[in-house]
Amino acid sequence: MTDSPTSPAVDLSLYPDGTSLDAAGRLLVGGCAVADVAEKYGTPAYLVDEGALRRTARSYTDAFASRHPDSLVLFASKSFPSASVIGVVSEEGCGVDAAAAGELAMALAAGADPARIVFHGNAKTDDDLLSALTAAVRYVVVDNLDDVERIARLAQEPVPVLLRVSPSLDAKTHTAMMTGHDASKFGIPSDQVADVIRRIRRESMLDLRGLHAHVGSQLLDLDQFEAAVRAVAAFERFGVYDLGGGLGVRYTSADAAPSVEDYADRLVTAVHRHLGADVELMVEPGRSMVARNGITAYRVVTVKRGVRTHVAVDGGMGDNLEVSLYGQAFQPSVVDRSGPAEIVDLVGRHCESGDELAHGVEVVSPRVGDLVTVPVTGAYCYTMSNNYNAALRPPVVFCRDGESRLAVRRETFEDLVRRECLLPGAD
């Protein structure tokens, strides 16, 4: 155990834009005291700064529209597949990237315009495609030849489609987030693209409008996006290009990430140079749209000091799988009080040794009942929330202008039991 006489400062630059401390030193997100929100809605809880989310969405649409008027920013709904979040970004001018029928249903429930929805999926069933065709989405992305067969069989009129191609690039990211290499399960390998284009054109129910490419996720080097544009330009030219998403974000104070403006500038410049200024351009930000705009609040349940100091909170891998799956580093803080610093492992309550939220981090020496916040959890944490140990998935709470409101309620034990069909005494 390592102690320091000073209190570790909360790095507000990792929290939603506008996060501050009040006169009493309490953490405010969206103008709401996190402690008050935690008291009202319980913990663990996902907090989303609605105002900051809206500003991020506008920064994306403005950045691309000012550089390339014929552009559409599609929110990658897989990063936070809640109608509440999809509705906010839709109101700010974003379309939606839906990677499954469930995400499409969420987008439609949120009031998203189907004409601004692009439908993905590497293993689309008949039902998936029927949902997209019935909704009349803007484009269906063809990922394989089975998509071609299914669309040709199910469609009643020609369907505007994009073809997902591999740019044959190894992204500088975690291997599980690499999607643009020829061995990926996504898209058409580069050496097969020309043959698949010819195959699509033989089908009267498929109207091939353009290409889609996505290098990977949590990309911090803008050169990779420019390389993807060059790779796509090597194929036949089209009038529509969807260049995916993948812009990375800062998770800790030591991280550096490009701004939305820098990303838009580099990508649009590359598009104009290699593909032309007269194409329809789409991008699909997810992580960079929502990650910083969400935090998770926990309560300390127990502190165990020994070879290492384990600080266990009332959540864990049931609400944040990023650490277990990708080894993602987070920077938690014990908030709303000062005290000596201590190096700890922040762990969860689940019966799994890998249930860890942060390893070897410096926080104010923790006590049972302390409020702990983990910033930059707006992306993929809600997405992958689960019922490990039959835990209840947390609520989503919107904070804006000092007011909080429930966006997604906390799951209940009744919710878990409701789907069981063989309970004692059941008919």
Residue 406 is which amino acid?
A: L
Phi, psi of 415 (to 5 degrees): -60, -40
Q: What is the CA radius of gyration of the chain?
A: 23
Question: Strand, coil or helix: what is 139?
Answer: strand
* Tokens, residue 86: 């999809």
Q: Are 46 and 397 in contact (CB under 8 A)?
A: yes
Q: How far apart are CA 287 and CA 427, in angstroms?
A: 45
Where would I find the beta strands (DSSP E) of 32-88? 32-33, 45-49, 71-76
Question: Strand, coil or helix: what is 122?
Answer: coil
Where would I find the beta strands (DSSP E) of 20-138? 20-21, 27-29, 32-33, 45-49, 71-76, 95-98, 117-119
* Tokens, residue 55: 């500003």
Non-local (6+) Cβ contacts of 418 within 8 A are none
Measured CA distances, 191 to 7, 145, 235, 386 (Å): 57, 14, 10, 39
Q: Are 337 and 24 in contact (CB under 8 A)?
A: no
Catalytic, 399? Answer: no
* Tokens, residue 354: 């890998």
DSSP letters for 174-198: -GGGB-SSTTSSSSB-GGGHHHHHH
Catalytically annotated residue among 351, 381, 399, 421? 351
DSSP bridge pairs for 219: 247
Residue 327 is which amino acid?
A: G
Q: How far apart are CA 154 and CA 186, in angstroms?
A: 22
Q: Are 242 and 161 in contact (CB under 8 A)?
A: no
Q: Are 173 and 217 in contact (CB under 8 A)?
A: yes
Active site members: 351
